[in-house]
Amino acid sequence: MYDAVVIGGGPGGYVSAIRLAQLGKKVALVEKAHLGGTCTNVGCIPTKALLTTAHLFTELKEKTRKFGVKTGEAEYDLSQAMKHMRKSVTTSRKGVEFLLKKNGVYFLNGTAVIEDPNTILVEELNKRIQARNLVLAHGSVPVMFSPFDKVGGVWTSDDVFNMKELPKSIVIIGGGVIGVEFSTYFSSVGTKVYLIELLEHILPSEDEDVAAEVKKSLTKRGVEVNESTKVVSVELTDFGYRLTAQKKEEELVFEGEKILLAVGRKPNIPEDVKALGIKIERGVVTNEHMRTNADNIYAVGDIRGQIMLAHTAMQEGIVAAHNIAGEEKTIDHSAVPSIIFSNPEVAVVGAREKDLEGEDIIVAKFPVSANGRARTMEERNGFAKVIVNAETNVILGLAIVSPSATEMIMEGVVAVKNRLRLHQLLDSIHPHPTLTETILGALEGAKDMAIHI
């Protein structure tokens, strides 16, 4: 009898299993495919590996002469880039496997079928294991819907990583994080990109100024961005695909060699999970302890259908583990950073300006173009924006559009999480010359005392 069996070896599952083992619990983890889940295999890691190659290619094309570096004409080798991507994925998988072994987690590679709240059958191994507690970490699957499911060969984000050659043109449906990142990648390596977003602007979860900065960058790289646009039909052609779309009163036609449906993912909830009788809405419902309405069943990560990010899943897995171990630990989703590996990068935490209409707030921005370190890098696009409660001076949110924004956002995470006040960051000396001084400039602007603009 195991203290807990974790189903799913993605970020939420493997982290939960390891933490349970660290807390002295006997734990097994069942994964039907590869360890690491969506993030490692068809999400964060392969996407960022390819984006790293594309970013370097862009730097070589755009900056070498300015920097006095003489090279031959840059060429992009997809086969070598894919080799780098596969190596990154394999190394990450092996790293997870090593960590499970190191911590004494019993790993079973097979499909888990829940027969009852205490019994799991691992199908391929024809093995039953007993558990006092279950952690559901089944992850998610790409969304596919009409009319895209009516024609063959439409890519989802899972399929891109199997491509053998770059398409000459691609129509990307969905201007959220996935769509923007793949638009960045494909446009950087020479593919003609058409990006279609149903809502008023790309990155609809973010403020309009953030989205506008990313749109400007994509447009500069040749991406045709179409917002408030709905695809109504798709047909196969000799060349690839023809899509008919409606933009207000205008009918638009797009032609592309490939289509990438990048409208997000949905929770993976198999029939055996549904048969448990636990509450399911968009995803599996839990309380702040990550416990479902069944006392011994917990759920973490994408299966919950809430904040579907790897770092959120990891923290939820840790919270579940501590509660299974008999501690009282709750999840805090108030300061979850959202990051986008566009060019420039985007990172946001806490409140968005659009969600605080009518409230007494101070909003201040500082442009990347006024930052000394950015000038040395030949970077001009982007800004840092801080949102502050006007009465209490508590920092409510931070948005960064900048090179290395995804690395810089932790200052905002700590501030929002701990309800720090403006002066607490202002009085913290920021190193010079660094990109983090764009944050300092925004903080100074919130006091109407910006020095460098």
Which pTM value belongs to this model?
0.96
Superfamily for domain range 344-446: FAD/NAD-linked reductase, C-terminal dimerisation domain (3.30.390.30)
60-74, 282-296, 343-357, 373-387, range with the lowest pLDDT:
60-74
**How sure is the predictor about 156, in pLDDT bands with cuts at 50, 70 and 90?**
very high
Task: Give the CA count within 13 Å in the CB-facing half-sphere of 364.
Answer: 22
In which residue ranges of the chain is CATH 3.30.390.30 found?
Answer: 344-446
Instruction: Tell me if the domain spanning 148-263 has CATH number 3.50.50.60.
Output: yes
Point out the catalytic residue in the list 34, 322, 423, 432. 432
Average pLDDT, the chain: 97
How far is the C-alpha of 358 from the C-alpha of 115, rounded, in Å?
Answer: 52
Q: 194-220, pLDDT tens digit by residue? A: 999 999 999 999 999 999 999 999 999
Q: 158-182, pLDDT tens digit by residue? A: 899 999 999 999 999 999 999 999 9
- Please tell me which residue, 170 or 71, carries the higher pLDDT value: 170
Q: 136-146, pLDDT tens digit by residue? A: 999 999 999 99
Catalytic residue status for 432? yes
pLDDT at residue 300, rounded to an integer: 98
In the chain, what percentage of residues exceed pLDDT 70?
100
CB 181 within 8 A of CB 342: yes
User: What does the longest C-alpha to C-alpha distance in the chain come to?
Assistant: 68
69-78, 366-375, 407-416, range with the lowest pLDDT:
69-78
**How sure is the predictor about 72, in pLDDT bands with cuts at 50, 70 and 90?**
confident
For residue 347, pLDDT over 90 is answered with yes
CATH fold of 2-141+266-324 reads: FAD/NAD(P)-binding domain (3.50.50)
Pair of tokens at residue 380: 């001009």
CB 339 within 8 A of CB 34: no
In which residue ranges of the chain is CATH 3.50.50.60 found?
Answer: 2-141+266-324, 148-263
pLDDT at residue 60, rounded to an integer: 93
Mean pLDDT to the nearest integer, 45-73: 94
